[in-house]
Amino acid sequence: ENPKPKYRRVLLKLSGEAFAGGKEYGIDPAFLEYISMEIKSVWELGVQTAIVIGGGNIFRGVEGESMGIERAVGDYMGMLATVINALALQSALEKVANVPTRVLSALEIRQVAEPYIRRRAIRHLEKGRVVIFAAGTGNPFFSTDTAGALRALEIEAELYIKATKVDGIYTDDPYKNPEAQFIEEITYLEVINRGIRVMDHTAMTLCKDNKLPIMVINIYKPNNLKRAVLGEKVGSLIK
């Protein structure tokens, strides 16, 4: 019999960088396969799972500025990049992992994704579909980390899981400072005041003001995602 998960509904934020795997640009099929099976392991526990996808592996709004592209235009390009990642993940989840999914886009692209409608997202989750939120918040000058906080609050997720390449939060950069110490639990205010760069201020503030707990985990460690929803001590908890 399956162990009982601690959370009923979670939101997972995957950065575009993760999609690129070891590469600088594009989508790594090995990561797609890996992450699909990780997501499946959570879905199989009956945890309602929503995902917000980044786009940094393809385009970031700020990058456009050096090309003479206005920030707002660049940001829309970045949002479209997240749609590409969302479709790749959807395909992998359905083909590799056999998990039913829906992509809901904050920008209307009706031929490839449903428009984002809050109540519909919740309905899909209740029906056991993994919901993939694409196109961030639909607005320039925001990040997909903020979209993650926003959607998590809208769907009343109990936990915001921020997938990273490190084990969690440290007192300093563990790659640069061998003295850096792991932090198991920390408050929102401390993260903000100490300038710890987990996500941007807009996203952090949204979580803080609405008391949405954030768990920072290493997504590259197999089973971490499952362990997180089971309530095991993986990563760092911000609350």
Q: Is position 28 annotated in a ligand binding site?
A: no
137 labelled binding-site residue: yes
The enclosing H or E element of 49 equals strand 48-53
Of 129, 103, 125, 127, the residue nearest 115 (C-alpha): 103
Structure token pair of residue 178: 């061998």
The CB-of-72 to ligand UDP minimum distance in angstroms stands at 8
On whether 68 is known to bind a ligand per the annotation, the reply is no
Is 170 known as a binding-site position? yes
State in angstroms the smallest separation of the CB of 21 from ligand UDP: 13
Q: Please give the single-letter amino acid code of residue 160.
A: Y
What contacts 24+ positions apart, CB below 8 Å, involve 17-23?
A: 17/54, 17/56, 17/57, 17/165, 18/54, 18/57, 18/163, 18/165, 18/219, 19/53, 19/54, 19/57, 19/85, 19/88, 19/89, 20/57
Q: Which of 137, 164, 224, 236 binds ligand UDP (CB under 6 A)?
A: 137
Spatial distance between the Cα atoms of 102 and 147, rounded to a whole number of angstroms: 17
Binding positions for ligand UDP, 140-159, rule CB under 6 A: 140, 142-145, 147
| Binding test (CB under 6 A) with ligand UDP, winner from 10, 12, 32, 79 | 79
Binding mask 5-34 for ligand UDP (x = CB under 6 A): ----------xxx-----------------
Report whether 139 belongs to an annotated binding site. yes
**What single DSSP character describes residue 197?**
-
Q: Which residue is nearest to ligand UDP (CB)?
A: 54
CB of 38 or CB of 75, closer to ligand UDP: 75
Angle between helices 71-95 and 29-43 (to 10 degrees): 70
Shortest reach from residue 145's CB to ligand UDP, in Å:
6
By CB under 6 A, how many residues form the interface with ligand UDP? 23
User: How far is Cα 38 from Cα 26, in angstroms, rounded to an integer?
Assistant: 21
Q: Which residues bind ligand UDP (CB under 6 A)?
A: 15-17, 54-56, 60-61, 74-75, 78-79, 81-82, 136-137, 139-140, 142-145, 147
